[in-house]
Structure 1
Amino acid sequence: MTVIILLAVIWAVLTIVGFAFKGLLWLAIVGIVLFVGTLVLGITRRVINRNQKL
């Protein structure tokens, strides 16, 4: 879970940097996509682990 949180923070920082510099808008788009992907991955893993414990 720590890795998922760390990746989400890294993607959020990349997104902010991309929006701060207009020439790096592509970096913001990549950061948003990776941030959302990381969140989805973390949520699905958490649900799967919860279901396995039952």
Structure 2
Amino acid sequence: MLSWVVTFLVVALIAGVLGFGGVAGASIEIAKAIFFIAIVLFLISAVVGLVRGRGNSL
């Protein structure tokens, strides 16, 4: 998922250098959205992992 963020950031940088401001702005917003979704999913999985804990494997 974070590879998508890097891809959109690279697209935004290239578009910004070439003068396509609208494309660059849209790419940055998409990259930010995907990044925050990835952070939220990571936090949810961390909380679930802490709640479940490690079972006793005897």
Give the TM-score, by structure 2 length. 0.79
Q: Residues 20-52 of structure 1: CA distance to partner in whole angstroms, max 9, x if unpaired?
A: 111x11110011101100110010000000010
RMSD: 0.8
Deviation of 1:9 after TM superposition, in Å, equals 1.1
* Structure 1 stretches of 4+ moved >6 Å: none
Give the equivalent residue in structure 1 for 2:48.
52
Listed as ranges, the gaps of 5+ residues in structure 1 are none
Q: Structure 2 counterpart of 1:39, which letter?
A: F
Identity percentage of aligned residues: 14
Listed as ranges, the gaps of 5+ residues in structure 2 are 51-58
Query: Normalized per residue, which structure has more helix?
Result: 1
Q: Structure 2 counterpart of 1:10, which letter?
A: T
Counterpart Cα distance in 2 of 1:14 and 1:30: 10
Q: How many residues align?
A: 50
Q: Structure 1 counterpart of 2:6, which letter?
A: V
Which entry has the higher C-alpha Rg, 1 or 2? Answer: 2
Give the TM-score, by structure 1 length. 0.84
